[in-house]
Copies of this chain bind each other. A is one copy, B any other.
Amino acid sequence: MAKKTQDAQELSKNLKEISIAEFFEKNRHLLGYENTTKSMLTVIKELVDNSIDACEEAGILPDIKVTVKPTEDNKYMIRVEDNGPGIVEEKLHLAFGKFLYGSKFHRLRQARGTQGIGVAGAILYSQLTTGKTAKLTSSTGKDIIELDMTIDVVRNQPNIISTKKEKNLKGWHGIKIELEIEGRYVEKGQSIPEYLKQTAIMNPYAKIIYNGPNGKTVFERATKEMPNLPKEIKPHPHGVELGILRRMARTSKDLNMSVFLRKNFCRVGSSSADQILKLAKIENKTKPSELRHQDIVNLHNSMQKVKLIAPSTDCLSQLGESLIEKGLKKEIQGEHFVSIARSPTVYKGRPFAVEVGLAYGGDLNAKNSAELLRFANKVPLMYHNGDCAITDAVKSLDWRRYGLQQSQGSMPNGPLLILVHFASVWVPFTSEGKQAIASYPEIIKEIKLALQDAGRKLKIFISKKKRNKEIEMRQNMFERYIPEVAESLSKLSGEKKEKIIKGLEGFLKKEEKGEKK
């Protein structure tokens, strides 16, 4: 017994707090840093996503400059610069030098990043692999601030090495981040150029200038029209979880229940609040902070039962059918394009919407299986293709109905590119690296519906194309025999051969016109 007690004392002694930065330092593969090729892409992705988010939030057409320059063996300097609103001096080091620090986590509104992890992860990866400091430059239009910093991993705090303040003569505003990292540079497949191309497709109002190790590429914007800035919404009663409701009630200072419900949830007015309270058998004069456990359980149940309008969907920022086609046409040499933007729908009180674009024919390879571009909140998903709701939905659809070839359960074959965009206030990523969407049945179903809508549109084109090809073949066949037929007819009728040939050719053209109407 004595021994055991001592063991427990001994073992308990080692229990201590782990900083979230230490956690990610040790588990950096969770953030997408498991090998040098992927790590390099992840750094670019985190910086670019963050930049476009910042621009959009401030209503500024994004101008993003990305630079990748080899320094020494397997080392690269990465720089991403935007023309966003910048960050004020007091918060600059915290915004990027501290894990789980951000402005978007507690908000119900579509955004690329929400976790307050991305850029800090890139800085951590840089200091882990090269030991270099991160250089941050920011201006809100006033002075230009420059910081040299590292992350103090044990305390999860930014550690400023030096600061510099400069006059802002040209009125620049934005953020510039420069890091040196270990990496391996590739240009095909899951690569930085491919990521930037897909970003340009899905964000056709952004201009992206890429200075890579092998030269410069400019992705021009295809439009100056920006999607609507999504609005923040309150949680919907149908989506709130018991534990969260309990916390909201316990910490509420509201003096009665109706105010509490109307103030904290969307789509609750006086009469629906009354209905909820009546069903839960709670008096309006009760203070929310004084509800007992059973009251909260009852309240939660009745909140699920009372009929309410679905949450407003202006918290989403869909791209829309026209912009999807513009984006695709800009970067893909296809023959025909179709797009579908489904109306938003709701999952557990959280609005989401699916958009689909298809490119067909042209330069797309007819012999391979279709290419799939996956996006979540306008960000390309480059990895974990096999573990994603979008892939599941595409493979489980019967594409043969739409005139394409497919072995069951596989990607369809043919000169086809499939773009799927999942937009939501909350994307259930399968990991912090944000490369795949968890396979919730509600999500898969909605993606399949969007694909079906797009497939039907595409089918019209494919069928027409097939029919035209058949007609053309028939014509070609007939055309070849025209002189012979004309000769025989001429002999039989005494009519001139040339006239008969002209007549026969006229028939052909008519048929063609008729069919093509």
Q: Shortest beta-carbon distance, A426 to chain B, in Å?
A: 8
Residues of B within 8 A of A58 (CB): 4, 7-8, 11
- Choose from B101, B107, B116, B242 the contact partner of A128 (Cβ within 8 Å): B242
The answer to the question of A431 belonging to the interface, with a C-beta cut-off of 8 Å to chain B, is yes
Is A34 in contact with B438, judged by CB distance below 8 angstroms?
A: yes
Residues of B within 8 A of A141 (CB): 1, 4-5, 8
- Given the interface pairs A8-B173, A293-B131, the reply to whether A103 lies near B14 with Cβ below 8 Å is yes
Could you list 8 examples of A-B contacts with CB < 8 Å? Answer: A4-B141, A7-B58, A8-B88, A11-B103, A16-B101, A18-B100, A18-B102, A153-B243
Segment at the B interface, from A21-29, A405-413, A466-474: A21-29
The answer to the question of A57 belonging to the interface, with a C-beta cut-off of 8 Å to chain B, is yes
Q: Top 5 closest A-B pairs, CB basis?
A: A128-B243, A8-B140, A14-B103, A18-B100, A8-B85
The answer to the question of A309 belonging to the interface, with a C-beta cut-off of 8 Å to chain B, is no
The answer to the question of A247 belonging to the interface, with a C-beta cut-off of 8 Å to chain B, is yes
Is B1 in contact with A171, judged by CB distance below 8 angstroms?
A: yes
Segment at the B interface, from A91-99, A213-221, A358-366: A91-99
- Choose from B11, B30, B54 the contact partner of A57 (Cβ within 8 Å): B11
Q: How large is the interface on A (under 10, 10 to 19, 20 to 34, 35 or more residues)?
A: 35 or more
Residue of B nearest to A431 (CB): B431
Is A29 in contact with B131, judged by CB distance below 8 angstroms?
A: no
Is A15 in contact with B129, judged by CB distance below 8 angstroms?
A: no
Residues of B within 8 A of A94 (CB): 15
| Given A4-B141, A17-B98, A30-B430, 20 new contacts (CB under 8 A) | A5-B142, A7-B85, A8-B85, A8-B88, A14-B107, A15-B91, A18-B101, A18-B102, A19-B100, A20-B20, A20-B100, A23-B105, A25-B243, A29-B428, A128-B244, A129-B243, A131-B243, A131-B246, A131-B293, A131-B296
Residues of B within 8 A of A12 (CB): 87-88, 90-91, 95, 103
Is A8 in contact with B101, judged by CB distance below 8 angstroms?
A: no
Q: Using a CB-CB cutoff of 8 Å, which residues 8-62 of chain A contact chain B?
A: 8-9, 11-12, 14-20, 22-23, 25-27, 29-30, 34-35, 54, 57-58, 60
The answer to the question of A110 belonging to the interface, with a C-beta cut-off of 8 Å to chain B, is no
Query: Residue among A5, A131, A242, A431 with the most chain B CB within 10 A?
Result: A131
Number of copies of this chain that the complex holds: 2
Query: Residue among A90, A173, A296 with the most chain B CB within 10 A?
Result: A173
Q: Shortest beta-carbon distance, A35 to chain B, in Å?
A: 8
Q: Shortest beta-carbon distance, A57 to chain B, in Å?
A: 6
Q: Shortest beta-carbon distance, A437 to chain B, in Å?
A: 10
Residues of B within 8 A of A54 (CB): 11
The answer to the question of A387 belonging to the interface, with a C-beta cut-off of 8 Å to chain B, is yes
Q: Shortest beta-carbon distance, A214 to chain B, in Å?
A: 26
Is B438 in contact with A86, judged by CB distance below 8 angstroms?
A: no
Distance in angstroms between the alpha carbons of A243 and B26 in the assembled complex:
12
User: 1/0 per residue A330-360: CB within 8 Å of B?
Assistant: 0000000000000000000000000000000
Residue of B nearest to A430 (CB): B431
Is A140 in contact with B173, judged by CB distance below 8 angstroms?
A: no
Distance in angstroms between the alpha carbons of A100 and B18 in the assembled complex:
5
